[in-house]
């Protein structure tokens, strides 16, 4: 097991380098230059010297392979470089200050989704075509089909403007510094309520449908029949025998959504004015801020590879059939 994990990790390194190489190439080949985008569309500035100076500072005057090599050698030392944006701050710092809020939002969102989606999925599967099944099906698909930004605006109007219960946007009130400790915590939670609600509503459909499907498959299996034949109460059959098996595919899906946790939703972040990863990335792309784009990419790519590995490993942990098959295969 350990050997297998190590082998996978070592193999991931060339893969990672390959990913970064292709992305580096693609990003640099996209039209537009970081230097250019520091000046606005209507700007009548044409200081050619500044442009040359910036190119030199950023190393853009060198051939692409030289740029890539110097970027890669710095990366090995975990130096992600400095942003091309005029704040010239280290990329890791910029990502570091945006990551916590995005992680928090996404983890809470994920937990809420899982907590809601599993019972919804199980209930709709066990009561397939019942009224509950139909109502939740409609509900989750409405959620799936509702545009984030529209829902967000409607909720903002209702809870922020009409009722005045919740703040509309941002992370903290302007008077945050002057609130007591508990008021501050409440203030923060109140600011996150709507964004989490919006993000959850949209994500619920996929997960609950997965769960329903998985459950439907499992309850048609013979061993469920035998469990029932043994005279086990239906609750035991579902909760103990069916659910555990039905959760297997969910584990994979969850594992694969791990890298997604650090990518913010651009729409939700922009509309709620939350300074997260999504906004950082979009701005970086518009500004052609290569170091920030690449930095984020490396992190996401590494996480994806690791998540794949973890998903594979946990799968064999939770599913005895795979373990057995693997052992037999080796023999």
Partner 1 sequence: MSRPVPLRLLGLLLLLAVAGCGGEADSAVDLASGQATGKPAYGDTYIEALQGNISGLIPNVLSDGPSFEVGSLIYNGLVKYDKDLNLVGELAQSWQYSRDCLDLTFKLRPNVRWHDNQPFTAADVIFTYETMINPKTPTAYGGDFKAVESVVAPDPYTVHVRYKHPSAKALQSWSIWMLPKHLLESYAREGKLREAPQNRANPVGTGPYRFSEWKPGEKVVLVANSDYFEGRPYISRVVYRIIPSSATTFLELKAKGVDGAKLTALQFKRQTEYPAFRKAYTKYQYAANVYVYLGLNLRDPRFADRRVRQAFAHAINKRELIDGVRLGLAREATGPYKPGTWQYNPNVRTYPYDLAQARALLADAGWTEKDPDGVLLKNGQPFKFELLTAQGSDEGRKVAEIIQASLKDLGVNVEIRVIEWAALLKEYIKKRNFEAMILAWGITPDPDQFDIWHSSKTSPDELNRIGYANPEVDGLLEKGRSTCVEAERKQYYDRLQVVLAEDQPIVFLYFRDGLPVVSSRVRGIVPAPIGIQYNFNEWFVPKQLHRYTAG
Q: By the 8 A CB rule, do 68 and 93 touch? A: no
Task: Rule CB under 8 A: say whether 48 interacts with partner 1.
Answer: yes
Task: Rule CB under 8 A: say whether 146 interacts with partner 1.
Answer: no
Closer residue to partner 1 (CB): 121 or 167: 167
Minimum Å distance from CB 154 to partner 1? 11
Task: Rule CB under 8 A: say whether 167 interacts with partner 1.
Answer: yes
User: What is the C-alpha to C-alpha distance for residues 128 and 120, in angstroms, rounded to an integer?
Assistant: 11
Structure tokens at 155: 């909720």
Q: Considering only residues 96-135, where is the footprint of partner 1 by CB under 8 A?
A: 97-98
Task: Rule CB under 8 A: say whether 156 interacts with partner 1.
Answer: yes
Task: Rule CB under 8 A: say whether 29 interacts with partner 1.
Answer: no
Closer residue to partner 1 (CB): 260 or 275: 275
Q: By the 8 A CB rule, do 202 and 143 touch? A: yes
Hey, is 155 helix, strand or coil? helix
| Identified binder of partner 1 from the candidate list 252, 257, 270, 308, rule CB under 8 A | 270
Comparing C-alpha atoms, which of 112, 255, 126 is closest to residue 195?
112
Comparing C-alpha atoms, which of 200, 202, 173 is closest to residue 187?
173
Structure tokens at 261: 């946790």
Task: Rule CB under 8 A: say whether 182 interacts with partner 1.
Answer: no
Q: Which of these segments, 11-19, 207-215, 221-229, 265-273, binds partner 1 (CB under 8 A)? A: 265-273
* Binding footprint of partner 1, residue count (CB under 8 A): 60
Task: Rule CB under 8 A: say whether 13 interacts with partner 1.
Answer: no
Q: DSSP states of 32-93 as a string?
A: S-TTGGGS-TT-----HHHHHHHHHHHTTTS-HHHHHHHHHHHHHTT---B-SSTT--BHHH
Task: Find all residues with CB under 8 Å of 106, minimum gap 6, and list them.
Answer: 199, 260, 261, 262, 264
| Identified binder of partner 1 from the candidate list 157, 317, 324, 325, rule CB under 8 A | 157
Comparing C-alpha atoms, which of 111, 63, 49, 61 is closest to residue 261?
111
Closer residue to partner 1 (CB): 42 or 230: 42
| Identified binder of partner 1 from the candidate list 82, 209, 212, 241, rule CB under 8 A | 82
Tell me the Cα Rg of the chain: 25
Catalog residues that contact partner 1 under the rule CB under 8 A.
30-33, 36-51, 53-54, 57, 82, 85-89, 94, 97-98, 149, 153, 156-157, 160-161, 164, 167-172, 174-175, 177-178, 270-273, 275-276, 279-280, 283, 286, 288
């Amino acid at each position: 097991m350990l050997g297998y994990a190590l082998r996978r990790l070592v193999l991931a390194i060339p893969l990672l380098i390959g990913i970064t190489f292709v992305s580096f190439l693609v990003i640099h080949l996209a039209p537009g230059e970081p230097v250019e985008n520091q000046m606005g569309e209507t700007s009548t500035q044409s200081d050619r010297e500044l442009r040359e100076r910036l190119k030199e500072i950023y190393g853009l005057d060198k051939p692409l392979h030289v740029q890539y090599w110097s970027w890669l050698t710095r990366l090995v030392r975990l130096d992600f470089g400095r942003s091309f944006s005029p704040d010239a701050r280290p990329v890791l710092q910029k990502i570091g200050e945006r990551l916590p809020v995005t992680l928090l939002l996404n983890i809470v969102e994920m937990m809420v989704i899982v907590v809601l989606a599993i019972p919804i999925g199980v209930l709709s599967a066990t009561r397939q075509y019942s009224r509950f099944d139909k109502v939740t099906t409609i509900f989750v698909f409405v959620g799936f089909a509702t545009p984030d930004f529209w829902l967000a605006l409607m909720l903002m109007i209702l809870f922020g403007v009409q009722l005045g219960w919740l703040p509309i946007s941002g992370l903290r009130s302007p008077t945050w510094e002057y609130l007591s400790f508990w008021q501050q915590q409440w203030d923060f939670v109140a600011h996150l309520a709507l964004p989490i609600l919006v993000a959850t509503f949209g994500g619920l459909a996929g997960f609950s449908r997965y769960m329903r499907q998985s459950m439907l498959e499992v309850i048609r299996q013979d061993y469920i029949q035998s469990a029932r034949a043994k005279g086990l109460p239906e609750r035991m059959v579902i909760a103990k025998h069916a659910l555990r098996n039905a959760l297997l595919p969910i584990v994979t899906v969850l594992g694969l959504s791990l890298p997604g946790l650090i990518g913010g939703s651009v729409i939700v972040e922009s509309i709620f004015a939350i300074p997260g990863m999504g906004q950082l990335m979009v701005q970086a792309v518009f500004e052609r801020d290569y170091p920030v784009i690449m930095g984020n990419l490396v992190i996401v790519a590494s996480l994806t590879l690791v998540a794949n590995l973890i998903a594979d490993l946990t799968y064999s942990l939770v599913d005895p059939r795979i373990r057995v098959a693997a052992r037999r295969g080796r023999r």
